[in-house]
Amino acid sequence: MTRYPFLVSNPVPLSTRVEKLREIEASQRFTNFGPVNDRLQQRVVDELFDGRGGCIAVANATLGLMIAIRDGTMRFEREPRRRLAIVPSFTFAATAHAAMWCNYQPLFCDVDPDTWLPDELHIEALLKQYGERVAVLLPYATFGNSLDLGRYDALAAKWDVPVVVDAAASLGSKDAEGRQFGSGSKHPVVYSMHATKSFAAHEGGIVYSEDLELLGRLRQMSNFGFDANRIVTLPGMNAKLSEVAALSAAEKLSEFGNVVEHRRELVETYHRNLPMLQWQRPAGTALAYQFCPARVNGPGRNDLVDAMAARGVELRAYFDPPLHRQEFFADRSIVPDLPVTNALSRNVISLPVHDLMSVEDAKAIARELRDVVATLNIDPAGAAD
């Protein structure tokens, strides 16, 4: 019996917002940039990004990545050599899928051993090696951690290549200046509002940028490429957010500050009670935790997960196997040597974090984990593989 599940999704129950649902029905605007969608976008900018820049809401973050990649790479349409997308292997499948749906081949990069973010030195080495074959940089803000966007500005300028940021789990994360991660970015930054995220709507995504012209193009692309006269002038698809989904997100936004603070309290409880584990080093001032990742060096990670499951505690291992060790991606990608990704993926565990957990739950999970580590004679601080 699972006493402590890894994930409990907690979008706002729309059954308690019947009047607001009736307002949508009465408006007869169910999609196509309706008023709930427009209000959501403005509130996200005002409340999360301090009024700076703009955003568009999309049906899901993967579609947001796809239109952002397509927009950034349209200038390479007549350059057939530009077919590579630099992307970490230590990420969720959607990151590489988005590039492949845009007809780009993943070129996998390694990650930093402490922050677990894409290794910028390895990215630059790949740019030197593959040069004009690279069409886009697609970094992932690992587990909500903050990328150094200034460094990506420099890479984009030096190598004349667009940047699209996969920040799926980053809504609520703070950068080194204490701002919402991504704030002020001239590149598109794509966030998820999937039910499993800290910002748990039922489904959806946000694309943010300080570049309002870019956002105007993405909005048009999300509506089949139609201009104001319903003439197609850009590549398009249907990536619009429905009014009901926008309502779900707007209601979540109203309670999101409390959600983020509660999750940080749970993670701080783990950190205090599990000093033997190695934690991801934050590159900003705070993360919005979808779960609590840690590293258990040396052998025994899978034994630890199994033993905790036997005690009713569900742990998971993100991301194992990494993308380059999954046959579909391995057969269709360029895979250089990725030593940190290989070691990290074998050693990472993720502890439960969700809105319905209490601090006492986190303490109980920590006690079980300490006992299992001692019982299995695992050395969490041992040498990495």
What is the mean predicted confidence (pLDDT) over 234-258? 98
* pLDDT for residue 1: 84
Q: Of 83, 31, 80, give the one whose Cα is nearest residue 58.
A: 31
Alpha carbons 130 and 212: distance in angstroms, whole number: 31
**Cβ neighbours, 10 Å, residue 160:** 10
What pLDDT is recorded for position 369?
96
- 147 and 199 fall within a common domain: yes
What percent of the chain clears pLDDT 70, i.e. is strictly above it? 98
pLDDT higher than 60, residue 207: yes
Distance of CA 329 to the CA centre of its chain: 19
Q: Please report which confidence band the pLDDT of residue 298 belongs to, taking 50, 70 and 90 as the band edges.
A: low
| Integer Cα distance of 122 and 112 in angstroms | 9
Would 198 be classed as within a structural domain? yes
Would you state the pLDDT for residue 251?
Answer: 98
pLDDT of residue 385: 46
Per the structure, the complete domain to which residue 307 belongs is given by 256-376
Per the domain annotation, does 382 fall within a domain? no
Only one residue has tokens 């940080």, namely: 264
Give yes or no: residues 317 and 200 share one domain: no
Q: Is the peptide bond before 291 cis (omega within 30 degrees of 0)?
A: no
Among residues 251, 278, 308, which one ends one of the domains? 251
Do 124 and 170 fall within a single domain? yes
> What's the pLDDT at 384?
46
Residue range 299-317, pLDDT digits in tens: 789 999 999 999 999 999 9
Residues 274 and 235 in one domain: no
Number of domains in the chain: 2
- Asked if 71 and 225 touch (Cβ cutoff 8 Å), the reply is no
Domain boundary residue, one of 217, 235, 251: 251
Is there a single domain that holds both residue 149 and residue 48?
yes
Average pLDDT over residues 34-57: 98
As a whole number, the mean pLDDT across the chain is 96
Per-residue confidence at 383, pLDDT binned at 50, 70, 90? very low
Q: Six-digit token pair at 143? A: 């587990």
For residues 216 and 168, membership in a common domain is answered with yes
CATH of the domain at 367: 3.90.1150.10
pLDDT tens per residue, range 160-188: 999 999 999 999 999 999 999 999 999 99
Q: Is the pTM of this model over 0.85?
A: yes
Q: Are residues 85 and 192 in the same domain?
A: yes
347-374 average pLDDT score? 96
